[in-house]
Amino acid sequence: MGKITVQKQTIRDIDWQGKKALVRVDFNVPQDESGQITDDARIRAALPTINYLLEHGAAVILMSHLGRPKGGPDPKYSMKVTADRLATLIDAPVKSVGVVTGPHAEAAAQALRPGEVLILENTRFDARETKNDRGMAQELAKLGDVYVDDAFGSAHRAHASTAGVAEFLPAVAGFLMEKELEYLGNALEHPKRPFIAILGGAKISDKIGVVEALLQKVDTILIGGGMANTFLAAEGYAMGKSLVETEVLQTARDLMEKGAGIIQLPVDLRVAAEFAADAENKVVSIQDVPAEWMALDIGPATIAHFANNLSGAKTVVWNGPMGVFEFPVFAQGTVAIAEMLASLRDATTIIGGGDSAAAVRQAGVEDKMSHVSTGGGASLEFLEGQELPGVAVLKDR
């Protein structure tokens, strides 16, 4: 899988002079109640690709989804807000057209000159997008000469704008896609050791495949967050009112058996009387979780235990927070891990998107990581060894 990067063509392999680049970006940015963008990291991540295309004589047509509209237009999820933000970040005219495909989109694409950018409306305003509808893919393909996939965060979905369109246009990777495949691919194929995975987040059920795949590849797996509760319960500890997935307890037992010596669980927890930012809370050992309380973060002894495991690491992949990091008092484990990774010398540190990416940003150490992935679900599936539809369609070298 690591060899994937060598084999995929990128935008460097195309002569862009006078061509229209149809680029799938991941502009699915978080917004506040009033629709303002709260974090434009995903838009900034696409800039190297967009700027390269503009500098090499292309007209650039961008497509992305935003939020979860119900398969029809919803002003709350219009791409206009991302077009406005992009216009402040690049030195080129940015136009938007209020449709995804059809005569208006074709006319706007036709009129687009080299050095200009056009943003199509939210691809998910068309119900055909998520069905990977061939007709929609064909309509999108009419807008450009070459398809560029720079949306790793959507690469695990076979949609019309991520995979289908490549049936009708030559398809190459953008720089962000290339970087994602390079870091994740190399970590899995040629890791420098010790190779440590840190897994957190609420549930085991969506990470069973990842744990199984990583057991074959890593030296140690450190488990925190809600998923640790289920493992601890599987080991026979009483977890009080903590989130425990009872239906996968047997699976957790099997994984512990397979991963004996590799999987490391918390030794203490920060527990709370209720699920709230200002809840009464205390640190207890894993033997002493009170019946009416719930575990919401790893404790200081666990932080020390995990730090000890990480101290000599050469490759680290992290996916999922260590606690309910939206509440400052229960963010201590997550922030400590982020700071620990930031302090590692000569280690490759890869943050697997989603909440972990938010956590390293919140801890102010994002720039100290080797790579912060833009795709949570996509990086998980990649780590699991699945072929991602949006990667499979790219032209081989």
Q: How far apart are CA 69 and CA 78, in angstroms?
A: 9
Catalytic: which of 85, 131, 203, 314?
203
Residues facing 263 on adjacent strands: 221
3-class SS of residue 349? strand
Instruction: Give residues with Cβ within 8 angstroms of 329, minimum separation 6.
Output: 270, 277, 278, 279, 281, 297
Active-site residue, 42 included: yes
Strand order in the sheet with 348-351: 263-264, 220-223, 195-199, 315-319, 348-351, 371-372
* Per-residue DSSP letter, 206: G
Reply yes or no on whether 354 is catalytic: yes
Verify whether residue 253 is a known catalytic residue: no
Residue in 314, 306, 379 with CA at minimum distance from that of residue 338: 306
> What residue type is assigned to position 383 of the chain?
L
The residue annotated as part of the active site, out of 67, 98, 115, 377, is 377
Strand order in the sheet with 171-173: 94-96, 117-119, 59-63, 20-24, 146-149, 171-173
- Are the C-beta atoms of residues 150 and 173 closer than 8 Å to each other? yes
Burial of residue 43 (CB within 10 Å: 0-12, 13-18, 19+) is: buried
Q: Tokens representing 292?
A: 């009416």
The residues facing 22 across adjacent strands are 61, 147
Task: Select which of 225, 299, 354, 375 is catalytic.
Answer: 354
Contact between 200 and 334 under an 8 Å Cβ cutoff? The reply is yes
Measured distance CA(21)–CA(23) in Å, rounded: 6
Treating both helix axes as pointing N-terminal to C-terminal, what angle do 175-189 and 47-55 enclose, rounded to 10 degrees? 130
C-alpha 355/C-alpha 151 separation (Å) is 18
Distance CA 257, CA 254 (A): 5
Catalytic entry in 8, 42, 179, 207: 42
Active site residues: 42, 203, 354, 377
